[in-house]
Amino acid sequence: MNIYLITLFPELIQQATSFGVLGRAIRQQQLRLLCFNPRDYAEDKHRTVDDRPYGGGPGMLMKVEPLAKAIMAAKQASERHVADKATKVVYLSPQGQQLNQQLVVNIAAQKNDLILIAGRYEGIDERLIEALIDEEWSVGDYVLSGGEFAALVVVDAITRLIPGVLGDDESAIQDSFMQGLLDCPHYTRPETVNGQNVPAVLLSGDHKAIQRWRLKQSLGRTWLRRPDLLNVVKQEATHWDAEKADLLAEFIAEYDEHE
């Protein structure tokens, strides 16, 4: 998969994607990440990439021409690689649709190239959004100093879904999130920490009981912490069944008993 990233700080991206699962995926060429820097398209002697907002007010915006040229260069690079499919152009911004696992799954499944635009300053000219951008995505309702951090979240979440990037066991872990539930609690050595023991079932070696316990904990946690996610899971016939309903009922009964 090719992801083209429009950013004023390609070094930030290069360094941040040199580690872990993402770094390995790039080294193994399961992901190609190409940066386009608007500063390389600035033609004034100071290579200016910001400009003042019409109407005044604090802060600057990204200068139109260098940014537009960088986006066009990325589109042309993608068209050289994938001639028959239009590459989605996404601008990371708090005004966008909320990023979630379903959106990431859909993008990864399409196996298309993707162009991500990382804003800086107060953002970009609305006319560029209208002319060149297909979608706006937000990683959360807060303001970052740069869209690079949001773009890295998107790149990481998508890359994990590229076949072969995660090992078999890791992709199994991924499945729990893919079912829309929160993850279950995890434990490692030693068996007692601050007087707290590991749940006995995890030491039992009974893999069926362990799998049941983990699913019950995921259901219970989702019920307690993110009932909004649970409602979505319950609507999805493929993700909800009698076993989950029974396990959740068991968790709730035990929870009410201890409250």
Written as six digits, the tokens of 215 are 């699913």
Answer yes or no whether residue 143 interacts with ligand 4FV by CB under 6 A: yes
- Of 101 and 176, which CB lies nearer to ligand 4FV in the complex structure? 101
- Of 53 and 94, which CB lies nearer to ligand 4FV in the complex structure? 94
Answer yes or no whether residue 147 interacts with ligand 4FV by CB under 6 A: yes
Answer yes or no whether residue 19 interacts with ligand 4FV by CB under 6 A: no
- Of 150 and 202, which CB lies nearer to ligand 4FV in the complex structure? 150
Residue written as tokens 């993110």? 226
94 is catalytic: yes
Instruction: Please state, in angstroms and rounded to a whole number, the distance separating the CA atoms of residues 102 and 95.
Output: 19
Alpha helices in the chain, H assignment, sequence order: 10-16, 20-27, 64-81, 101-110, 126-132, 147-159, 168-178, 207-225, 227-235, 242-258
Answer yes or no whether residue 38 interacts with ligand 4FV by CB under 6 A: no
Q: At 164, which amino acid appears?
A: G
| From 146, 162, 176, 226, residue interacting with ligand 4FV (rule: CB under 6 A) | 146
| From 92, 157, 247, 248, residue interacting with ligand 4FV (rule: CB under 6 A) | 92
| From 139, 155, 161, 233, residue interacting with ligand 4FV (rule: CB under 6 A) | 139
Q: Could you tell me which of 167, 153, 166 has the C-alpha nearest to residue 90? A: 153
Pairing verdict, β 61-62 and 88-98: unpaired
- The catalytic position among 175, 241, 257, 259 is 175
The residues pairing with 163 across neighbouring beta strands, listed in sequence order, are none
Tally Cβ neighbours within 10 Å of residue 30: 16
Answer yes or no whether residue 7 interacts with ligand 4FV by CB under 6 A: no
- Of 59 and 227, which CB lies nearer to ligand 4FV in the complex structure? 59
Q: Could you tell me which of 147, 104, 108, 143 has the C-alpha nearest to residue 13? A: 147
Answer yes or no whether residue 119 interacts with ligand 4FV by CB under 6 A: yes
- Of 75 and 120, which CB lies nearer to ligand 4FV in the complex structure? 120
Give the nearest distance from C-beta 223 to ligand 4FV in angstroms. 28
Answer yes or no whether residue 123 interacts with ligand 4FV by CB under 6 A: yes
122 is catalytic: yes
The residues pairing with 50 across neighbouring beta strands, listed in sequence order, are 62
Tally Cβ neighbours within 10 Å of residue 183: 13
141 is catalytic: no
Site for ligand 4FV in 93-112 (CB under 6 A): 93-94
- Positive or negative torsion for Cα 221, 224, 225, 228: positive
Instruction: Please state, in angstroms and rounded to a whole number, the distance separating the CA atoms of residues 137 and 190.
Output: 42
- Any idea which residues carry the catalytic annotation? 94, 122, 160, 175
Positions touching ligand 4FV (CB under 6 A) are: 92-94, 119-123, 138-140, 142-144, 146-147, 150
